[in-house]
Amino acid sequence: MAGQYKSREEKRLAQQKSKSTKSKKKGSLVKRVIISLFIIGIIGMLAGAGLFAYYASSAPKLDEKLLKDPIASEIYDMNGDLITTVGKEKREYANFDDIPQVMQDAVLATEDNRFYKHNGIDLIRLGGAVIANVTGGFGSEGASTITQQVIKGSFLSPEKTLKRKAQEAWLALKLEQEYTKEEIFEMYFNKVYMSAGINGMATAADYYYGKDIKDIELHEAALIAGLPQSPNNYNPFKYPEKAEKRRNIVLSLMEQHGKINEEEKKKAQAVPITEGLVSAEEVEKKNGNKYPAFVDAVIDEVQKMGDYNLFSDGLKVYTTVDPDAQKRLEEILAGENTSFSYPENPEEPMQAGVTLMDTKTGEIRAIGGGREQDPNVQRGFNFAIDTKRQPGSTIKPLIDYAPAIEHLKWSTYHILKDEPYKYSDGTELNNYDGQFKGPITIREGLWDSRNITALKAFQEVGPEKAEEFVNGLGLKFDHYYESASIGGVSPGVNSVQMAGAYAAFGNEGIYNKPHTVTKVVLRDGETEIENDNKPKPAMKEYTAYMISDMLQSVIDHPRGTGIYAKVPGLPMAGKSGTTNYSQEEREKYGIAKTDAPDSWFVGYTTNYTAAVWTGYKTRSIPLSPRDRRVSQYIVSDLMSYVHDGVDTPDFKKPDSVVESKVELGSNPARLPSKYTPDDRIITELFVRGTEPSKVSQEFDKIDSPSNLKGKFNKKDQTITLAWDYGKEKDVQFEVAVSINGEAKQVLTTTDKKGLNVENIQSQGTFTFEVVAISGDQRSNPATVNVDVKATDGEDEENQDENNDENQDNNGNGNGQGNGNGQGNGNGEDSGGGEDTGGDTGDDEGTTPPPEGDGTGDGGTDDGTGDGTGTGDGTGDGTGDGSGTGDGATNGAPATQSESRRDQE
């Protein structure tokens, strides 16, 4: 028993020992497991930290330019109304101080309620997201803070990977260290996408509600704050039911987080989702691509003002565009409600580049960049600003005549000879019509666009002065050869440049650089950049006025080259211009000699200046003479529209200009005398101090001989003439005779007051004329008829009485008249008359000419008339007849040449 006991005791002890050993083994295992897990955790943490560090090391750097996203710029018209936005992303930037509290509360309640409590990563929210991701799969719920969303939207891709999450967390921590909470919230607020191609919640407030962000209401703020989760699905225009559900969730979150109370929540949730939304028409109007040609010019100008980018800098650009004028110009180019039509061409449409500018300020009111442009092409070719075409004759006032008036003080009467002429190198130069008009005034040289006189003006003033002058008008050319005088300039010009240059004439010589921008307000809303275009004197007042006065003749003269631009009752000046094809081009493309590649017209008043180029993009497609009128039609239509109901004063004559009558044909200019015919008296302009002071003697008349008597002495077959004259010295008398109406013959010139004509052998009526002569002056003739008969017993006393009576009544008409022809009337029997019609015709065709410009030759009228009775000899001139007979001219009317070509 004892052994057994011993055995049992031993067994018990052994069992206890065994249990103790097992317990020790089990405790050791748990400890080892715990230690192992701890070690693994540390290793995992180290590995995770290493991986995090690795991913973080490859994260992009914080870039402020990327944090503050590109913002579209807003462009406003001259009235301060928004035209359009420019930029890839439509975004209105709001500073933090401009964001109302209700909007901040809505965003924070929805996106990151602990925003002001974390350092960029919300660990509490992260824990919830981890559990959700374990149970629902990776990426099933996000834990991104507003800070992390800024990082993701600025630098990282949207893919859900560990690498992106690690980089996002790292950069979020750095962002919180470098920027304040307010700055980070501002970044988020302006960055998020809000559907319809717009970014930022301030933009959304304007787009959906037509409101500034500071005026937003609770229910509106809730809709806006809820959009970023799924912008396109919650767009209230497209999906109002989804949008309403999302808005109400946001309102509930705001109430849950204590931003609003339950009553406010329910009241806001009861508002229909469509309440306050702008109409679809307003959205289209606000976001349409308005005035693309003008906006194109604005973009270019802003870029030249400084280091600004309209596509990304969020600028507010205030422009000079007149929306009414711009709209009408676009209608004109579309052929809407116009009195003319554009030529049809199967290859491509006729193009036009148009600039309408305020004459006094240089502010561009409208730009037409072309016709039938593709609306889907942004910033396509703009024919108003991008084209560089030869200006043709529109350059003549700028480079030829204005410099001559400015530096040489030419008058508008200044005479230049239009004649066959050559350039200095021997190359022949011709006029558009191949004809030459002889000595003409520079006024006529301008309204008839003569090339010869333009070149002569350029040569006399010199290329240096010409260059200096046009440079002051914003035109700079590569060279100033003689061909520049008629438009051969390089690199060419556009309508903006030409409008600016011509406007200086209408602005009393003051040049303003053409511009589309008045000021630019930077992104901060406070800094304003003014356009520093300052007016500058470009010429003397007398130059500006005298050129303007001459250019009015271009439009108002019946044969002027600008008659199709005329607006009745509007005091407008202007100049046409046409360019030429080379002979090589004509042969290559089979182009007619009358066709041209370019047609210009620049017209201006004291209010507006309009410059128009027309042609085809493909130069080889020509303009016919009729097509070339379109540039003038456009000017007429546009200027008529913008001047309707607007007081437009005529050009103001400065004190430095004197208006003076001149005897046409005198050179140098002479004042008309009392004998100058009315049709030879014109009024021209002179720089004060250069006006004519001497009186012309061209038409002066000295006194005629008086008491002319003639007596036939049958006995010795002689006729005795006697007359009286005043006391003038150095006077001689020319005696002529016509027998029975035949041609007049001069018998002699004598200083006596009588003459004995011997050896009379003919019978009939002898008509004698006696003219007093002193130097270059001639008197009107004194006449007397003497009858020579062979009848015996003739009473010589009665003969004397008859002769005396004839002397008292007879006179020979010799007067000058108007017209394109010459008419002679000879009264047979005992009366005679001779009338001459002056002013050889230089007719340019019908008025208005069928094709515009052109010249024709006048004709002559000759005829004789017989009759009885006392009367006046009449013809194309005026004069006094005498005796019996009614001298009258009869003949065919003057002929006119075919109308001239409208090419300059």
Name 290's Cβ contacts closer than 8 Å, sequence gap at least 6: 83, 84
Contact call for residues 772 and 731 (beta carbons, < 8 A) = yes
* Cα torsion angle, 64, 68, 73, 79, sign: negative
CB 839 within 8 A of CB 822: no
Distance, in Å, from the CA atom of 91 to the CA atom of 287, rounded to the nearest integer, reads: 12
393 in catalytic set: yes
Q: Which residues of 526-535 are buried (b: 16+ CB within 10 A; e: fewer)?
A: eeebebebee
Bridge partners (DSSP) of residue 757 are 719
Active-site position among 73, 144, 312, 393? 393
DSSP string of 685-739? EEETT-S--SBP-TT--PPPPEEEEEEEETTTTEEEEEEE--S-SS-EEEEEEEE
Query: Which helix or strand (DSSP H or E) is residue 455 part of?
Result: helix 451-461
322 vs 877: CA distance, rounded Å: 56
Distance CA 238, CA 242 (A): 9
Cα-Cα-Cα-Cα dihedral sign, residues 557, 562, 564, 570: negative
Contact 664, 683 (CB under 8 A): no
Collapse the DSSP code of 824 into the 3-class scheme (helix H, G, I; strand E, B; otherwise coil) and give the result.
coil
CA distance 604 to 607: 8
343 phi/psi in degrees, rounded to 5: -65, 145
Rounded to whole angstroms, the Cα distance separating 836 from 822 reads: 5
Are the CB atoms for 445 and 454 separated by under 8 Å?
yes
Contact in structure between 870 and 796 (CB atoms under 8 Å): no
Catalytic residue among 74, 89, 92, 111: 111
> 868: which 2 tokens?
């009885």
Whether 801 is a known active-site residue: answer: no
Q: Is 297 helix (H, G, I), strand (E, B) or coil?
A: helix
CA nearest 686: which of 409, 322, 306? 409
d(CA 859, CA 898): 13
Q: Kindly list the catalytic residues.
A: 111, 393
